Amino acid sequence: MASEETTPLLLNTKRQIRNGRLYVAAFSAILGSFVYGYSMVLPSAVIPQVQEDDDPSMHMNVDQISWFGSVFAVGAIVGGLIAMLIIDKIGRKHTIMMSVIPSTVGFLTIAPANKVWLLLLGRCFTGVAAGITASSVPVYVSEISHPGVRGFLGSSPEIMIVIGGLALYALDLVLPWRWLAVAGEVPVLIMVILMCFMPNSPRYLITNNKMNEAERALKWLRGHDLDSTDELNQIQHSIESQAGTQWSDLKSPFLFKPILISVFMRILQQMTGIAPTLVYLEPIFEKTAVSLAPKYDAAIVGFVRLVTVIIAAGLMDKAGRKSLLYISAFIMHLAMLTLIIYTLKISCNPGNITVEALSAKEPYEAISSITVIPLISIIFITLGYEIGWGPITCLLMPEILPMKVRGIAAGLSVVVKYITAFVLTDIFMHAVDTYGLFAPFVFFGVVCVVNIIFTAKCVPETKGRTLEEIENYFKNIRTFSIAES
């Protein structure tokens, strides 16, 4: 069976990677993911504070709140399209650096905003930056990584997204909303400075016939004491074998299967409801009469997400991708069922505390033990997501996409992801307002079952495989083996 094959390339992955510069390069890139995670969940902290602002013109109705949450996805769609156009032209490194421009403009628009439309505009710009980094950071990290640590490094963008969100929740405890936007500029500046000193992807350089520069980049990433000749030759051979690929070749399973898997994984990832859950985290806790103040609940959820995604990163190269995807979807499904039952109970029981009562600014007290159920449910929804469908979707996309279409297909996947996220985030609050909080989570719970089936039927196991071996899997119909040249 394919899972039992031993290939020449795979044998080399057992070697210990001690060159710290590889990790520095990956860290520099994933700071873009930190900014993405920070800006994505910004409404969770900003909406409650803005609603209490002394300026009545800053108060938002349901429609404006929905747009404030969802317009980020509109910007990300634009960012994904931009990445599709430039990632193969200027390279992965410089595409990541380009995200600094819309990110800076976005935060500087939000910080002094005195009208709701300025908040929406700034949020849209930060979304453009997110779309660019979501397309380029996973590709860059995957292409510079050694196969022995690609599972860990490939999941690191998701780790930094989670850390970015946790940083926002933590700063929300001590900073007013305008200063939260100012604080978002700090990692943006650090990222662009560090990336100036990092090499471009060796695979991108070879594609553009820059062999000497590619060799220097690979030696810098692997260490001068490690012979990288075999790896360089395998990359070159793989790229040369695709030199004649045309868009008409999309009918070939080698191209269309990994593209379809990447696109559908992005859609299913978002249809679990993670985007609206995180964007409206504090409003959700407001509506469920949870015992603690929503901002503390959000910080707890952010901390649990961080611990979970770090554990998942450590398991990525041991447990395998598919098993974690199964566990992830199953945990999310059970947690959503619990939240559905709870929200149905409180919406049908007139004796329970309502949103109106909570909005009277009374102190949060431990009303009864049942009021911790929403917090526990949301914790397990995010825990399940970060075990598998969060980091693995991000990791698999650059792993399975052929080099010839990796940049464009990565951008396409991100565009599709954010179209899905926009639709869900925009209608979430309207659905809650019309039917109750349980309604969207019924849909999300069904999607989790679909995810389990999709994983079983369509997703290949890529643990321990080089990018060239994974390409061979789609060329040779479910076999990873590469004959020695």
Residue 92 CA to residue 94 CA, distance in Å, equals 6
Residue 40 vs residues 11, 72, 136, 259, 425: alpha-carbon distances, Å: 40, 7, 17, 26, 11
- Mean pLDDT, consecutive 10-residue segments, the chain of 485 residues? 40 52 92 92 83 77 80 88 87 93 94 89 94 88 80 80 87 89 94 94 86 86 73 74 58 76 89 85 74 76 82 74 89 92 66 37 48 84 87 78 73 83 84 83 92 89 74 64 42
The CATH label, of 1.10.10.1100, 3.40.190.10, 3.40.50.2300, 1.20.1250.20, for the domain at 2-475 is: 1.20.1250.20
pLDDT score recorded for residue 352: 38
pLDDT score recorded for residue 187: 94
pLDDT score recorded for residue 150: 72
- Residue 41 has phi, psi (to 5 degrees) of -95, 10
The model's pTM: 0.71
Q: What is the DSSP string of 277-325?
A: HHHTHHHHHHHTT-SS-HHHHHHHHHHHHHHHHHHHHHHHHHH-HHHHH
H and E: helices and strands count for the chain: 24, 0
pLDDT score recorded for residue 444: 92
